[in-house]
Amino acid sequence: MELQSLLGKVNGDALLIVGIGAGAWGSIFIALLQDAYGTQIQPLQMRIWRRGGKEVDKPTTEHMFEIINAREVVLRRLIHKCAYLKYVEARLGDRTLYADEILRDGFCVNMIDIPLHPLKVVTNLQEAVWDANIVVNALPSIEILPVFQEIGRFWKERHTMLVIISLAKARVPTKNVLYLGGPNIAAKLYNREYASAHICGSEKWRKPLAQFLQQPHFVVWDNNDLTTHEVMGGLKNVYAISTGALTNESATSKAVYFAHCNSEMIYITLLQAEQPERLAGPLLADTYVTLLKATMHGAPYELGKWNILQ
């Protein structure tokens, strides 16, 4: 694999991928890679870091217990691991569950309705990252600086190659840090619905990483133009608000609006990008996913619906 050779790995050496942050996106991303590569002969190890000590509240515990009993595969897995009893005790109020504890059983506290395969969870940051080859940053933007300053202290004496993929929109300060983003909702991506994303950064890393991350239902484009992608990311939120306002309009109105959005996006790309032809594909794919597949049914879309109803 090209990626392994770039990281200085030879045949038989394990490639370690570590997720930092275990919200919906961070958990889904590591779970997808684990599902895709976890059963391959080539050594590939994955772990995810989240802070310990976060208690799961009573309503979430009750809902999680319903999900467990409604899904035979999950129920059998927990019984086989002798882990089912603790969920019974938690449902009865005799035990407190913690977010890192349930993530080890495949439950992300931010997305209880979508059980994942069990993940290897580490709550000690130094233990999580000290020997990582690929670090996936899934932290909220306001938490990135303090956490990575601490990680930097662990890596001061490090001499081996590593690369960071950031799922949070931020400037990429070095050639070994890349940004991955797209108009996707984590749960739908894990349910194998079509999704697209773009990875921005140095050519040395982004092409092999795009190939590594791509799956049949998940298309990953690569480009080094982060600024244009950030501008278009904000613009797609505006489109999503307008789409929400068009909820009750005719198919013709929606088609006209979709055509207008495409034309506007192409025009801005021509003004903004040095090589606009390389951005046309991923940006139009993003627009399609945003507007036609309605995967932006988040705050912008709902805001548009609310405004038109008012």
Q: Which residues are catalytic?
A: 236
Exposure pattern of 28-49 as b/e (b: 16+ CB <10 Å)? bbbbbbbebbeeeeeebbbbbb
d(Cα 257, Cα 163) in Å, to the nearest integer? 40
Q: Contact 198/223 with Cβ under 8 angstroms?
A: yes
Neighbours of 14 (CB within 10 A): 12
Q: Contact 17/30 with Cβ under 8 angstroms?
A: yes
